[in-house]
Chain A
Amino acid sequence: MLLSIEPKEIYKSITQHKLRNALTGFGIAWGIFIMMLMMGFGDSFQQGVFKLFSSFAENTIVVWGGESTMPYNGVMDNKTIVFDQDILRQFKTAFDEIEYISLQANSPQSMQMTYDDNKNSGSLIGVEKDFFRIRKQKIKAGRLFKSKDFKEDGAVCIIPERVEELLFKRKSKVIGEYINIGDNYFKVIGITKDNPNINFGDRNSVIIPFSSYQTLFNANTSNSFIISLYKDVDGSTFMKRFEAFMSRLYRVNPDDKEAFYTFSMSEQVKEFQSLFTGIRIFIWFVGFCILLTGIISVGNIMYVNINERTREIGIRKAIGATPRNILEMVLVESVVLTSIAGFVGIFFGYIVIFVIQIVIASMVEENMFLGNVGVNFPVIFASLSILILAGVAAGILPALKATRIRPVIALNQEN
């Protein structure tokens, strides 16, 4: 099908009133520009927040033991809840959803750590071999635990970089050095990178194999453990069953909220996801509102345009243009004007985002709640679709008006 308007005609129509069309198009360009920036920053913020969770497996649950405060079967015994390796094995056997599980035993009190004359105090955490499969720790130097570290009852430890700074100052080679903790020497085999935005007070904690922890504190139990579930498992459904199971196992009242404390990463992620969905909807809404003012001004200009071209439309009709031809002509002009303005907005949005990328790249360290500010291509695609729809929306009423122009009246107009 032939279009009833030529590119040359569209070009002439738009360039005939350059300033007027430029000012009108500015509304559209501005709307798209603002929307791109908002979406870019929204995504960046989302990336930044989810980066915080990256040090955990997606479906991580941490459980701390508390103290029972409600009677069980009529008996009130104020039980202190602790966990051991046997219990964890029972959990693993009972629940196929559990991918990895590890005790996470915190030392009862803060421990004095020394290296040469340097001192620091912090806790010791005894963990099992699957711990680092759940906690996705980035390694600054050395390595994480291997199976042999647990078998040999080796006095090895992994320290966070903050402890490295405090104990070793500027010493270049730390791996292989021994630090003294509570009169025991532990060989440093790895240094982990800090994730300062999210931690469980473990920036000062030294991690050792649970076997060493048992020897050091003469304890077989831990006050907490950590689980990761398989990816497709629904965390909240699992937790309900799991808590009921723990209540039965420990013979505590299922309604007792003080017996176990839990933290579910997937729940947190879900909450953030719904927060960001809300933010995204808000951004689209604001963007659409800004765009709407642009659409209205394009529509207004198209009205002015039609009024100015009434006689021309009459001529076109006299020589054979159908109402559909006229409708098509006005809509195509409106869509082209809107799209050009939109492309200008996208172009400048892209440039500004590019500059911001460079600036943020030089500023962003891991402690910023911002990811990379990027051009979101689905957003651009959606914006282009919106532009076409906006062009049609802006042009439809003026176009319908144009189709209703009676040639006999239009031809007698003075303009």
Chain B
Amino acid sequence: MIEIKNLNKSYQIGEKHLKVLVDVSLFIQRGELVSIIGKSGSGKSTLLNMIGMLDNYDSGEYWFDKNLINNVSESDAAHYRNKYIGFVFQTFHLIGTKSALDNVALPLMYKGIGKKERSIVAEKMLEKVGLGDRIHHLPNELSGGQKQRVAIARALVTNADLILADEPTGALDSKTSQEIMELLREINREGKTVLIVTHEAEIANSCDRKIEIIDGQIVKSDE
């Protein structure tokens, strides 16, 4: 599903040229549950942003479903993200003024689905993640675990093939972390490709495959 060849990314900070990703190559098959582990600043989140088309790379090749993703326009990237990719972030990134239902329904609005239909689909998705009784709650009325479930429902609502989770348990206690991981595994079992970025070995080890990144370079990748 994803093939990356010799990907490079660097940032210019003042006069300093900072290489964040150096000749990164990896291959992820459809239906895999893969973790990318690395320390803070290792470049793992940057790699996830490249895969999620939130950022551009400097050189190399990125193939998504056999399509070369190279300097795509903002609009095309938005269409890709909306249709094929779901994001789960460490700090949830829910819109505070919107209810759980409206947060989950939002990607459907950008997909061009009518209000009634998107409410039905979003409600079903919230029920699926165990929040059927919290649909009208605002994010600040939900616990951390519940917020992350809303975020997962939002990632799934457009029936995306790829779920990108950036430290999905980073802001949660260990019990809730386990629940969230179980939910992500369940999603994977249903056929979604799940890519988790983490710095926690336990989380990384619970995935089918682990990719380790140090100073922007992949140092180890399980087969």
Chain A positions within 8 Å of B, measured between CB atoms, are: 2, 4, 6, 9, 12-13, 16, 311-312, 314-325, 403, 406-408, 411
Q: Which B residues are CB-close (under 8 A) to A320?
A: 78-79, 81-83, 107, 110-111, 158
A158 to chain B, nearest CB (A): 75
B87 near A2 with CB under 8 A, answer no
> 6 closest A-B pairs (Cβ-Cβ)?
A320-B82, A320-B110, A322-B78, A319-B107, A408-B55, A408-B54
A414 to chain B, nearest CB (A): 10
Q: How many residues of chain B have a CB within 8 Å of chain A? A: 28
A410 to chain B, nearest CB (A): 10
B106 near A316 with CB under 8 A, answer yes
B49 near A322 with CB under 8 A, answer no
In the assembled complex, B19 has its CB within 8 A of some CB on chain A: no
The CA-CA distance from A316 to B78 in the complex, in Å, is: 9
A313 to chain B, nearest CB (A): 10
B71 to chain A, nearest CB (A): 14
Chain B 76-109: CB-based contact to A (< 8 A → 1; otherwise 0): 0011011100010100011101100000001101
Q: Which B residues are CB-close (under 8 A) to A319?
A: 81-82, 87, 106-107, 110, 154
A318 near B81 with CB under 8 A, answer yes
In the assembled complex, B75 has its CB within 8 A of some CB on chain A: yes
Known: A318-B87, A411-B89. A6 touches B110 (CB 8 A): no
Known: A318-B87, A319-B87. A406 touches B55 (CB 8 A): yes
Known: A320-B82, A411-B54, A411-B93. A2 touches B112 (CB 8 A): yes
Report which residue of B74, B81, B98, B107 has the largest number of chain A beta carbons within 10 angstroms of its beta carbon: B74
A-B contact pairs, 12 of them (CB 8 A): A6-B109, A13-B97, A312-B95, A315-B93, A317-B78, A318-B52, A319-B82, A319-B87, A320-B111, A321-B78, A322-B75, A407-B54
In the assembled complex, B14 has its CB within 8 A of some CB on chain A: no
The CA-CA distance from A4 to B75 in the complex, in Å, is: 14
State the total of A-B contacts with C-beta under 8 angstroms. 67
A159 to chain B, nearest CB (A): 77
Known: A2-B112, A320-B111, A323-B74. A408 touches B49 (CB 8 A): yes
The CA-CA distance from A411 to B92 in the complex, in Å, is: 10
Q: Which A residues are CB-close (under 8 A) to B94?
A: 315
Residues from 115 to 137 in B contacting A, C-beta threshold 8 Å? 115
With both beta carbons as reference points, the residue of chain B lying nearest to A311 in the complex is identified as B93
A2 to chain B, nearest CB (A): 6
Known: A2-B114, A325-B110. A318 touches B93 (CB 8 A): yes
Q: Which A residues are CB-close (under 8 A) to B154?
A: 319
Q: Which B residues are CB-close (under 8 A) to A403?
A: 74
B75 near A324 with CB under 8 A, answer yes
A6 near B49 with CB under 8 A, answer no
With both beta carbons as reference points, the residue of chain B lying nearest to A323 in the complex is identified as B74
A157 to chain B, nearest CB (A): 81
Report which residue of A13, A311, A318, A408 has the largest number of chain B beta carbons within 10 angstroms of its beta carbon: A318
A5 to chain B, nearest CB (A): 9
Q: Which B residues are CB-close (under 8 A) to A311?
A: 93
Q: Which A residues are CB-close (under 8 A) to B97?
A: 12-13, 16
The CA-CA distance from A9 to B158 in the complex, in Å, is: 21
A322 near B110 with CB under 8 A, answer yes
Q: Which A residues are CB-close (under 8 A) to B109?
A: 2, 4, 6
Report which residue of A311, A318, A319, A408 has the largest number of chain B beta carbons within 10 angstroms of its beta carbon: A319
A408 to chain B, nearest CB (A): 4
With both beta carbons as reference points, the residue of chain B lying nearest to A407 in the complex is identified as B54
The CA-CA distance from A411 to B95 in the complex, in Å, is: 12
B99 to chain A, nearest CB (A): 10
Q: Which B residues are CB-close (under 8 A) to A315?
A: 93-95
Select B110's contact among A321, A406, A411, beta carbons within 8 Å. Answer: A321
A6 near B89 with CB under 8 A, answer no
Q: Which A residues are CB-close (under 8 A) to B52?
A: 318
B79 near A322 with CB under 8 A, answer yes
The CA-CA distance from A321 to B98 in the complex, in Å, is: 16
The CA-CA distance from A90 to B221 in the complex, in Å, is: 114
B154 to chain A, nearest CB (A): 7
The CA-CA distance from A408 to B98 in the complex, in Å, is: 22
The CA-CA distance from A277 to B114 in the complex, in Å, is: 50
